[in-house]
Chain A
Amino acid sequence: MTDETRTEISLLVNGETSVLIVDNRRTLLDALREQLGLTGTKKGCDQGQCGACTILVDGRRVVSCLTLAVTADGVGVTTVEGLAEDGELSPLQEAFVRLDGLQCGFCTPGQLCSAAGMLAEHAAGWPSAVTRGGTPDLDEAEIRERMSGNLCRCSAYPSIVRAIQETAVSR
């Protein structure tokens, strides 16, 4: 059944369309890394337990390690390589560097994509587990809860939260 186990898909990644043939077993994470050479997205656990592989699919943050590439045919993907525009860091990226919201840097692409997706979710009025009542302010407790799917073993957590909060306020 070899013919049925591979599929041609089209992906719009960081604004560029790519057509590729994927082994149905291949995750979107491995397709990005191994076939498109976009190694900025990291494999930290490959089982949805660390968040390092977080990317944006049609604007929503997901873990690419549990997304089969074959299911992503036709979607728009933003990876960490697509966050800067024309070589200019996004405000979030700039704040991460300036406030040192990173150490080893391995979880950083996931933290950044997750933060970008999280800010959009908050802007859409989505609640979190610590939200009480209506639309929440994005205080530290809200940011921490909403970012908890991104583990950082260097534990740059306080500076990551500061960088996100600063970016959110300046928006």
Chain B
Amino acid sequence: MSTVTVAGPTGTSTRGLLGAHWLMLRTRGGLILLALGVLVPLAVLVLVLLTGQQTFDVDGADLADPLINTTVACALFAPLLGAMIGGSPFRHGTIVPLLLAEPRRTRVVLAAVLVAGGVAAMSAVLYILLGSAVALPWLANQGVPVGEVLADPALWWRLLGSTAVVAVTGMFGAALGALLRGLLGPVLVLVGSFIVEGSVIAYVNDEWFRWSLWANLVVLTEPTAELPFPFWQSVLFVVGVLAAVVAAALVSTTRRDAA
């Protein structure tokens, strides 16, 4: 071990912490998951287009259906990505050097949640760009006036809503990853809640769907449609649940021993 002179300023920063979480995601597993989050919805889109399961009217909302429905498929991978960002440091013990470098645990967890949301949104945008590159020429070839449809604000609102849903599910994954300190737990909770919630509500009373996280997430993808309950209520509900999960992750991470 030869002598080395190391000098210069040191100090933690939010930007550095966000960059660290992004660097941590760049393992083989993380990049594969990121690629699957874009390529699987793309494959589904191609299948939908080829099998002609959609009716392509000149109405913007209808044209958007195949693209938007498959954008929501990105939300299947976003929680996994999020859980990887929030839970992996605990699973692999890297939380120890991380907290030695930045002992303010709330900052570490919040940075993980923000990066998960950002990366998930980025994957959705990337998918929309790739999906558009595939779908729009195909639809134009079917005689759909693509130019008119693209001018319809409804299309953009729905794509924006879908991207927000993907980002939110990524953030849920990261917060649950930090709360449950692993990867499998968050996925089981999210998938389990989807199945249990739907089954219970459908059995008890359909009216209760207004209190379903998943029903409200779907509403966010339809901001211009006629909705079973107000759009603003869904926004508040989803933001409230997300804030509660993030708060639980912060309290748990702060109070429990790190390792």
| Same complex origin of A and B | no
